[in-house]
Amino acid sequence: MEVHDLEFLFHPDSIAIVGITTDPDDLRRQRFLKPLLDFGFGGRLYLVNAKGGEIMGLKVYPSLQDIPGTVDYVILSVPAELSVAVMKDCIVKGVKAVAVYSAGFGEVGTEEGDALEGEIVRIARKGGIRVIGPNCLGLHCAKSRLTYRSEYPKESGPVAFLSQSGGNTTHLVQMAAPRGVRFSKIISYGNGRDLNESDFLDYLAHDPETEIIAVYIEGVKDGRQFIRTLRNAARAKPVILLKGGCGEAGVRAAAGHTGALAGDDITWNGLCKQLGVVQVYSIEELADLMVSFLFFPLPKGRKMALVGVGGGASVLACDACTNSGMVLPPIPEHIKKRLLQFTPLAGSILNNPVDTPSIFQVPQFIETVKTVTSWEEIDYLITFLLSADIFPSYLGRYEQAANGVLQSSKICSKPVAIVLQDASHPETFEKTFLAQQRLTSAGFPVYPTIARAVSAINKFLAYHRQ
Amino acid sequence: MEVHDLEFLFHPDSIAIVGITTDPDDLRRQRFLKPLLDFGFGGRLYLVNAKGGEIMGLKVYPSLQDIPGTVDYVILSVPAELSVAVMKDCIVKGVKAVAVYSAGFGEVGTEEGDALEGEIVRIARKGGIRVIGPNCLGLHCAKSRLTYRSEYPKESGPVAFLSQSGGNTTHLVQMAAPRGVRFSKIISYGNGRDLNESDFLDYLAHDPETEIIAVYIEGVKDGRQFIRTLRNAARAKPVILLKGGCGEAGVRAAAGHTGALAGDDITWNGLCKQLGVVQVYSIEELADLMVSFLFFPLPKGRKMALVGVGGGASVLACDACTNSGMVLPPIPEHIKKRLLQFTPLAGSILNNPVDTPSIFQVPQFIETVKTVTSWEEIDYLITFLLSADIFPSYLGRYEQAANGVLQSSKICSKPVAIVLQDASHPETFEKTFLAQQRLTSAGFPVYPTIARAVSAINKFLAYHRQ
């Protein structure tokens, strides 16, 4: 297999953090250093600040030139006006790639900012250096222990996230990680003046470690190139896209954020539809779709059964399903009869939805799921568990109920998605979090509300129909 | 002021729980007793079970007739088939109201169930007893310490919630309480065979302790009566309505849940629009609207400013605002100039949205809010704080940032709504929860996402325009 031109970016032998804050009271001092140490980056790690000194046991070199060994990769964190000088130093040092964290370039909207951005990229290109950013967090690759965030999962996984916004990468990862999503590459590319969205998207489309590509994008540098790349990427792998900057205010915000020229929304909708790209509209939905593509096995058809506990919750769950265009066939008499053998009629709904008090008795709940999914007309199952907030003596009962959901999902003959309703109190939140971790570790897709589950599954099914 | 016919329901001098479980290992034993004890119900409290004995220091009477004193209010918790006999006992005892918790009546869809439900109501009416339910949790009134849930807020407040589903009442209350919502009355009325949605809605419309009425309804007994009552209620107070049971599956679920004949969705939409009722589509949205009506002062117009931290988050925030039809005018030069006096251009967006790193420095953040809201064109402000998950050393910085939001909101000259983005980890969730409590205690409306905030505020503004 051919190695992609950009593969080297993710495997530096040596990294220098240039412009590290030396003030020991400034939390920013740890920004890039601590994550690399926490991940156990195996290569050489250098720090640079004109003031010299030592940070966390590492010598601080006054300049790049003072470093004895070679430097592959530079994290540039000096004020924008000093970046030109550092970039020139990088050439002398033989640096291969520079991730420019610093802001104050094209995105500020001044001629100076734009010129400065152009200048550093021009210098870099002349010296054969590739630039990530400016105004970005850079690259994360768990396998090579290259990262910018200590809290990211240390294990690698099949999802790549390419994002014009650094904050949005972290928001997404922190939201998706407890639901079992693991990442091959995370790319925060900011203004994208040298390496842009198309370059990285092409890389991810060819990356053997990436099976699902998620993209947050505010604007593109070259529309034709991007559409061509997006088409090829979407042919190779599922691509989930969140477009930031619609409407006048959003476009204004995107311009100020990454200097992006955010196109109008309708063009993007049409483009995604045409290319088979799954379009989402929030970070939450992006996480939901990742979970669906990772953990929800493709059902044979679109007919679902809904099994949970709580009458009012079942009614609202059905409404959410209907609003998403889901099909819930009414339960046939022979299935209902079998359920009645172990389910009291009072306090139940045996009608698809199946609202059953047996959620508190693991063997009966397993039997309920077995019976419902033995019904041939049904292609997949959604099980939901009421918010832990609702259980009168919730701690014990919630665990028991979650255990029933886990056990029954394991023996279920059809694809199953699980909803653990959101909790609103620290104690119940923690219980839900732990149950979620058990379920995701066992390989199940877990969602916080029925509405979000069915909306995501609906888009997932639509993708596969196409 | 005239006392409403149903006022007596909320002020019983004595309560008997008939059919309390005597098995000490059965958690259901505490179901109605513990909440009444926890709330310190001040009247006489009796327990009835044919087996007799003692529970939590209270004598268990073999029957209602064995109770020495009078009984105003009965919580009926025997199997449906025994309910007729108990209802006859209630008449002999001179009981005034019975809340029938038991299920197994009209909602099971059998002729027997329906006949039994008709029978107990017929007996009750003959004896001058009013019936709540069957198949319900009954009444909650913090002031008279009448309740069915230990975890409900003990303080009274101006919001009433009338709900056909018991589970949905608890879900809503547990979600809304940490956001500062306090309740005058909570009514779970189930099948509503005697006292129905119209009776209770009429009561709440006249209740001097209720300023905002929220309703969860699956179906109505008498359409004309209900429309008349709803019209009068909506004239008197804001009414927020969540209709459960749309589409074929939802209607089926509602029938099995409360025996309701859920009408089709379009009729309800039209009705709500016509009567000025605020229609919502989920429990979460119901909580968001309660918060808006309670804590968001009515702004003079529809033009908003958005101040927060995080570029990508600001872009998506704008998109959410635009999608809700909100108006964000671009910031004028003179305001931008004033912001630049204390805000670095690099890493900021000064454009409405205002994305400012000063959120970590309380005095600067206060100055930012002052400056932005001094801009005359702006009617109100939304401040948002990134998810606590995102802060690199989040615990300390998040508290600091939340403090800036609190202080600046206190001095803000225009209505302010606050978004504390959801957290996905127990530690960050707890921090967010505590910040939320501080902000809600200070009287501010707090929302978990920008999209939910603007959607709720939009409906709130539309209500007041009407």
State pLDDT tens for residues A270-282: 899 999 999 999 9
pLDDT value of position B269: 87
Please identify, among B295, B323, B357, the residue that sits at the C-terminal boundary of a domain: B295
- Same domain (yes/no): A259, A123: no
- Cα distance between the two ends of chain A: 29
- Same domain (yes/no): B220, B310: no
- Same domain (yes/no): B264, B316: no
**Per-residue pLDDT for chain A (466 aa), expressed as one digit of tens each?**
689 999 999 999 999 999 999 888 877 778 899 999 999 999 999 999 999 999 988 999 999 999 999 999 999 999 999 999 999 999 999 999 999 999 989 888 889 999 999 999 999 999 999 999 999 999 999 999 999 999 999 999 999 999 999 999 999 999 999 999 999 999 999 999 999 999 999 999 999 999 999 999 998 888 889 999 999 999 999 999 999 988 777 887 887 777 776 665 558 888 999 999 999 999 999 999 999 999 999 999 999 999 998 889 999 999 999 888 889 999 999 999 999 999 988 788 888 999 988 888 899 999 999 999 999 999 999 999 999 998 766 677 888 899 999 999 999 999 999 999 999 999 999 999 999 999 999 999 999 999 999 999 999 999 999 8
Domain region containing A117: 7-132
- Same domain (yes/no): B342, B452: yes
> Which helix (H) or strand (E) segment is A98 a member of?
strand A97-100
Q: In this structure, are residues B132 and B139 in contact, taking their beta carbons and an 8 Å threshold?
A: yes
B353 contacts chain A (CB < 8 A): yes
> Which of B132, B138, B135, B64 has its CA nearest to residue B102?
B135
User: Which residues have C-beta within 8 Å of that of residue A270, sequence separation ≥ 6?
Assistant: none
Q: Alpha carbon of B44 to those of A116, A173, A317, B146, B370: distances in Å?
A: 80, 55, 40, 12, 56
pLDDT above 70 coverage of chain B, percent: 98
> Is A456 inside a domain boundary?
yes
Question: B237: pLDDT confidence band, cut at 50, 70 and 90?
Answer: very high
CA distance B288 to chain A (A): 13
Residue reference for tokens 């940070």: A55
- Same domain (yes/no): B273, B189: yes
* CATH number of A266's domain: 3.40.50.261
Please identify, among A266, A295, A324, the residue that sits at the C-terminal boundary of a domain: A295
Predicted model pTM = 0.94
Question: B266: pLDDT confidence band, cut at 50, 70 and 90?
Answer: low
CA distance A228 to chain B (A): 25
- Same domain (yes/no): B127, B223: no
CA dist., res. B105 & res. B116, Å (int):
6
Contact A392 B451 (CB under 8 A): no
Choosing among B241, B315, B430, which should be mutated to test the A contact, i.e. which has the most A CBs within 10 A? B315
CA dist., res. A319 & res. B248, Å (int):
9
* CATH number of A93's domain: 3.40.50.720
Between helices A426-441 and B426-441, what is the axis angle to 10°?
A: 150
- Same domain (yes/no): B310, B269: no
CA dist., res. B33 & res. B36, Å (int):
5
pLDDT value of position B53: 92
Q: In this structure, are residues B47 and B76 in contact, taking their beta carbons and an 8 Å threshold?
A: no
> Is A137 inside a domain boundary?
no
pLDDT above 90 coverage of chain B, percent: 79
- Same domain (yes/no): B231, B375: no
> Is B112 inside a domain boundary?
yes
> Is A141 inside a domain boundary?
no
A441: exposed, middle or buried (Cβ count in 10 Å: 0-12, 13-18, 19+) = exposed
- Same domain (yes/no): A327, A225: no
CB-side exposure of A392: number of CA atoms within 13 Å?
Answer: 17
Contact B167 A313 (CB under 8 A): yes
pLDDT value of position B397: 83
CA distance A324 to chain B (A): 11
> Is B189 inside a domain boundary?
yes
- Same domain (yes/no): B332, B370: yes
> Is A146 inside a domain boundary?
no
State pLDDT tens for residues B338-389: 999 999 887 888 889 999 888 888 999 999 999 999 999 999 999 999 999 9
pLDDT value of position A357: 82
Q: What residues of chain B lie within 8 A of the CB of A255, using their CB? A: 351
- Same domain (yes/no): A264, A173: yes
CA dist., res. B189 & res. B227, Å (int):
18
> Is B141 inside a domain boundary?
no
pLDDT value of position B246: 81
User: Could you say which residues from 66 to 105 on chain B have a Cβ atom under 8 Å away from some Cβ of chain A?
Assistant: 79-80, 102-104
Q: What residues of chain B lie within 8 A of the CB of A174, using their CB? A: 387, 389-390, 424-425, 428
> Is A321 inside a domain boundary?
yes
CA dist., res. A264 & res. B114, Å (int):
57
pLDDT value of position B333: 95
Residue reference for tokens 């030139």: A65
- Same domain (yes/no): A330, A449: yes
CA dist., res. B188 & res. B217, Å (int):
10
Q: In this structure, are residues A394 and A349 in contact, taking their beta carbons and an 8 Å threshold?
A: no
Please identify, among A101, A132, A163, the residue that sits at the C-terminal boundary of a domain: A132
A110 contacts chain B (CB < 8 A): yes
Domain count, chain A: 3
pLDDT value of position B95: 98
Q: Is the pLDDT reported for residue B28 higher than 90?
A: no
A364 contacts chain B (CB < 8 A): no
